[in-house]
Amino acid sequence: MSRIEISKVNKYYGDVHVLKDLDLVVEDGDFMTLLGPSGCGKTTTLRVIAGLEAPQRGTLSIGGVKAADGEVNFNMPPAKRGVNLVFQSYALWPHMTVFENVAFGLVIKKMAKAKITEKVTGALGRLHIQEFAERYPSELSGGQQQRVAIARSIVSEPRVLLLDEPLSNLDAKLRIEMRSELKRLHQELKTTVVYVTHDQVEALTMSTKIAVFFEGRLVQVDTPKGLYGNPVELRVADFIGNPKINFVECCCSTDGDALVTDSVLGRMVLDRAAARNARFPPMGVEPVACGVSSVLAIRPEHVHIGRVRTPGAVPCRIYSALPAGSETLIQAAVNGDMIMAKVIGQEEFGQDESAWLSVQTDKLNVYDKASGRIALGALS
């Protein structure tokens, strides 16, 4: 078993409080991505799991065995934890061949030569780099070097594989290829993976769970679908998604089991109990004038812009249309607010053209403006 349990972990560097009462569980076989902006504590968390950093408070266990306890100043050596760490910089021995780099850890363990050959050949085959076995790192591309680093980390069959932004040095095409390889590798090996990145696309495409950090605190742990659809805070919603999510200020009131929102998008009546589709009044009904206290969050792909008025649509004016091959990004002004829409295909709208804008209301999230916490989640 390789379940990781982090409980009330605090980490300081001098007077800087880097991790603040961190509670996180990584289940056996999970691909858990630690996601957040630079300086949020995700790499420090990975180093605590690896044993490269010791927490001042809190505990860490791996596979049911205590690996760190800040209260008694206990920190199990990294070599005894059954984890392997892949660094951002590859860290390959330049004077060794690919085969020798991958075999290095097994040689140190004094494993039989025949067994080493079997394991190294198998690891190189999994990463599709067996033909490079006799080459040196300087003779490989960045993507090939990264595959060697990963092969070296999996050859000893660790209980936990830790990856610290391993794809950040690769170009866009190689990153996409390596995402596929890592996801396939995880499904084949069933190893518990903890992956650090600030790239949300990597997190959403590869993970079984994502843990979002801000300023040393764990804010949300969820599946990629749950995180994208129902961010628990405004700052999580703002961080996840490209293009960025739309925020529209509104005021909320209740009507029985319904939540009533008034904004530049008109009046919407939302079923709080089931988050069912909202119902819009006939076109022409003006929003109720009241104080702003809430925020509507709408993903660009849930915004529709057309030239024909549809039920619930509000008038808008096209600010810009940006064709991007398979999709078009359209920015429209609605009563002074800018709303971004993402539509599949190539839509041609002229600058300052009048149009009609509507939203997919079962995908709306409503947030309390003061606290930033979610008040009503989208229908999954």
Q: Does 336 lie in the same domain as 260?
A: yes
Q: Does 310 lie in the same domain as 209?
A: no
Residue 281's pLDDT is what? 35
Nearest to 359 by CA among 261, 241, 286, 272: 261
Residue 273's pLDDT is what? 54
DSSP class per residue in 197-266: ES-HHHHHHH-SEEEEEETTEEEEEE-HHHHHH--SBHHHHHHS-SSPPEEEEEEEEEETTEEEEEETTE
Using CA atoms, how far residue 195 sits from 211, 226, 254, in Å, is 10, 18, 42
CATH at residue 372:
2.40.50.140
Q: Does 273 lie in the same domain as 206?
A: no
Choice among 177-181, 208-212, 256-260 with the minimum mean pLDDT: 256-260
Q: Does 362 lie in the same domain as 228?
A: no
Q: Does 294 lie in the same domain as 213?
A: no
Q: Which residues have CB under 8 Å from 289's CB, separation 6+?
A: none
Interval 329-374: pLDDT, tens? 999 999 989 999 998 888 788 899 999 999 988 888 888 888 888 8
Other beta carbons within 10 angstroms of residue 275's beta carbon come to 21
Give the range of the structural domain holding residue 368, as residue numbers without chain letter: 246-376
Interval 243-298: pLDDT, tens? 999 999 998 877 776 778 889 998 887 765 544 333 333 333 343 344 458 899 99
Say if 241 falls within a structural domain: no
Q: What are phi and psi of 214, to 5 degrees?
A: -140, 125
CB 349 within 8 A of CB 318: yes
Residue 271's pLDDT is what? 67
**% pLDDT > 90, the chain:** 57
Mean pLDDT of 16-32: 96
Please name the helix (run of DSSP H) or strand (run of DSSP E) that holds residue 100, with its range, or none.
helix 98-108
Using CA atoms, how far residue 51 sits from 74, 88, 100, 162, in Å, is 11, 17, 26, 11
Nearest to 217 by CA among 56, 49, 37: 37
Interval 289-324: pLDDT, tens? 444 588 999 999 999 999 999 888 999 999 999 988
Q: Would you place residue 63 in the very low, low, confident or very high pLDDT band (cuts 50, 70, 90)?
A: very high
Residue 379's pLDDT is what? 57
Distance from chain centroid for Cα 312:
33
CATH at residue 45:
3.40.50.300
Choosing from 233, 263, 296, the residue where a domain stops is 233
Q: Does 163 lie in the same domain as 30?
A: yes
Say if 240 falls within a structural domain: no
Q: What is the dihedral of CA 152, 158, 162, 163, to 10 degrees?
A: 30
Q: Does 258 lie in the same domain as 138?
A: no
Using CA atoms, how far residue 270 sits from 132, 179, 366, 378, in Å, is 59, 38, 10, 10
Q: Which residues have CB under 8 Å from 252's CB, separation 6+?
A: 259, 260, 261, 293, 294, 366, 375
Say if 141 falls within a structural domain: yes
Round to whole Å and give the CA distance between 114 and 34.
38
Residue 275's pLDDT is what? 41
Kindly report the average pLDDT of the chain as a whole number: 87
DSSP class per residue in 41-88: SHHHHHHHHHTSS--SEEEEEETTEEEEEGGGTEE--GGGTTEEEE-T
Mean pLDDT of 161-187: 85
Structure tokens at 290: 């009241």
Distance from chain centroid for Cα 65:
28
Span between the terminal Cα atoms of the chain, in Å: 32
Q: Does 168 lie in the same domain as 70?
A: yes
Round to whole Å and give the CA distance between 93 and 293.
58
Using CA atoms, how far residue 48 sits from 26, 69, 354, in Å, is 14, 11, 55
Q: What are phi and psi of 203, to 5 degrees?
A: -65, -45
Interval 215-236: pLDDT, tens? 999 999 999 999 999 999 999 9
Interval 112-133: pLDDT, tens? 999 999 999 998 988 888 999 9
